[in-house]
Amino acid sequence: MHPPTPMALRHVQADAAAGVLVGAPANTDLIVLFMLGDMGRDSKKWKEPNEFRPERFLPGGEAESVGPLPRRKETSRMMPFGAGHRFCPGVGLAMLMLKSFLAALVRKFHWTAPTDAVVDLTELDGFLKTMKKPLSASLARRT
C-alpha cells in the first residue's frame, strides 16, 4: 500500500519498444515509469484500496495469491521486489530476515499504543515515501 519508493524506472531499448508497448514509436528508446504507489491504491484491482487491511493477504483474502514472488497474473497489482529479469534476487533472504526480526520484537517486548493514537496514512511527497505523522508505540522489555 505504501511502497518506500513511489515509482520504478525501466529502460526499454528501441528494438524491443515496438513489441512491448502499444503505440510506441519505431526505433525509439523509452523510459517507462511504474507508479508503484498508485498500483496499490487502484480501486479497479483492490476493494477499499486506502484502508489498511492486512487480512487481504491471508488465505481466502482477495490478495491471497499476491506476494513477494512475482506471478505474471498478479504483477499488475503489486511489485514489492520488482518483476521480470530485474526481480530482486535477495527476496528470499529479505523475507526470512523480516520474519526473524519481527518475531524477535514481538517476543522481547510488550507493545502498547498511545491512548490518543489515531493512524493517519497521509504521506509526505518526495523520492522516498514517509508517513506525515509517524506511528508511535511504547515498548517495555519482557522479563
Read off the pLDDT of each residue in 104-126 and give the average, rounded to a whole number: 87
Helices (H), the chain: 14-20, 36-39, 91-108
Residue 22 has pLDDT above 80, yes or no: no
Alpha carbons 100 and 98: distance in angstroms, whole number: 5
Higher-pLDDT residue of 19 and 101 is 101
Higher-pLDDT residue of 23 and 35 is 35
pLDDT > 70: percent of the chain: 83
Q: What is the pLDDT of residue 112?
A: 92
Q: What is the pLDDT of residue 63?
A: 82
pTM of the model: 0.59
Give, as one character, the DSSP assignment of residue 82. Answer: B
Higher-pLDDT residue of 32 and 18 is 32
133 labeled binding residue: no
Q: What is the pLDDT of residue 69?
A: 66
In 3-state terms, what secondary structure has residue 65? Answer: coil
Q: What is the pLDDT of residue 17?
A: 52
Q: Which of 45, 42, 39 is nearest to 62 (CA)?
A: 45
Q: Which of 9, 58, 8 is nearest to 37 (CA)?
A: 8
Q: Domain map of the chain by residue range?
A: 8-107
Pick from 15-24, 30-39, 105-114: least confident: 15-24
Tell me how long the chain is: 143
* pLDDT band at residue 77 using 50, 70 and 90 as cut-offs: confident
Q: What is the pLDDT of residue 49?
A: 86
Q: What is the mean pLDDT of the chain?
A: 81
C-alpha distances out from residue 35 to 1, 42, 76, 96, Å: 12, 11, 11, 27
Alpha carbons 39 and 52: distance in angstroms, whole number: 15
